[in-house]
Structure 1
Amino acid sequence: MQTWLFKSEPDVFSWSDLVARGPKGEAWDGVRNFQARNNMRAMKIGDLGFFYHSNEGKEIVGIMRVIATAHPEAKDDTGKWECVDVAAVTPVPKPVTLDAAKANPKLSGMVLVNNSRLSVQPVAASEWKEICRLGGVDLKKLKVS
């Protein structure tokens, strides 16, 4: 299983919006960056991702699961953009801010810290564990080692 980080502006699509979709989830569409699209192409069903509120808040607020692999985006007429479907798993009890991530030496190599503009990005296993620790997430409940 791989882990990821997905960014969304909360006034466009927020964590609470994803929670409201329930188990049917939502297509993570609107991504218009080739690197982010390629990251989604690498995802498998069951992969987990952090939900990051960008612009407002700038913090990791939830954990979601990939429920459908990359497929053509319905809103794209060009045929070059794809999306995955995701569903909410659990909120992060203590949201982890970008400033907290930047201040943590264990996260110095994290894509979020070094390229905060990339909207869909990989998260290394050690970074996942550290963010979960900072956010008060119980990894055993997520079945993630």
Structure 2
Amino acid sequence: MNHWLMKSEPDAFSIDDLKRKKREAWDGVRNYQARNFMRDGMRVGDPVFFYHSNCAVPGIVGIAEVATDAYPDPSQFDPKSRYFDPGSSRDKPRWMLVDVKFVKKLKRTISLDELKNDPALADMPLLRKGNRLSVMPVDAAHWKYILALE
């Protein structure tokens, strides 16, 4: 089992939105490394930290679970979508997604500042300078440690 962190801007899609919908396609990923994590690493049942980004207090706000294997992101084929990619084709799709399902909302936000200031998490990919990936792996030891912070 792998562990993951997926970022979403709460104005676009929040943990409360996922709680209400119960399950959602994680569309619009347009970074090759993040796509590769979904395509090659994620498996049904893998746990996911749901992370709010680009907001007043960025941080981990909930837990989701990978609900499907990766499949082509349909938005890449829709010329009306902001995620349209004219270089992608149905027989050779460039972009993939997975569905995620709601597991729980944390009792509190575990903020980015709190994570950054914890020496036990110093080598966590999320905290590396310049890392802006929306999908990234989380080491099993970091996963367990962060859960204990709640």
TM-score (structure 1 length as normaliser): 0.89
Question: What's the RMSD between the two structures over aligned residues?
Answer: 0.9
Give runs of aligned pairs for residues 1-145 of structure 1, distance below 5 A: 1-22=1-22, 25-41=23-39, 42-56=41-55, 57-77=57-77, 78=88, 79-114=93-128, 115-135=130-150
Question: Aligned AA for 1:61?
Answer: V
Q: Is the 8 A contact 1:94 1:134 kept in 2?
A: no
Who wins on radius of gyration, i.e. which is larger? Answer: 2
**Structure 1 residue runs without a partner (length 5+):** 136-145
Q: Secondary structure at the match of 1:10?
A: coil
Tell me the distance in 2 between the aligned counterparts of 1:35 and 1:7: 14
Tell me the distance in 1 between the aligned counterparts of 2:47 and 2:103: 9
Tell me the distance in 2 between the aligned counterparts of 1:124 and 1:35: 17
Cα deviation code 1:93-144 (max 9, x no counterpart): 1211000000001100111111541100000011101110112xxxxxxxxx
Question: Aligned AA for 2:46?
Answer: D
- How many residue pairs get matched? 133
Deviating more after overlay: 113-122 vs 123-132: 113-122
Question: Aligned AA for 2:16?
Answer: S
Q: Which has the higher contact order (CA 8 A, sep 6+)?
A: 2
Tell me the distance in 2 between the aligned counterparts of 1:92 and 1:69: 25
Question: Aligned AA for 1:30?
Answer: G
Q: Is the 8 A contact 1:5 1:120 kept in 2?
A: yes
Counting aligned pairs with the same residue, the percent is 49
Name segments (4+ residues, structure 1) moved above 4 Å: none
**CA shift for structure 1 position 74:** 1.1
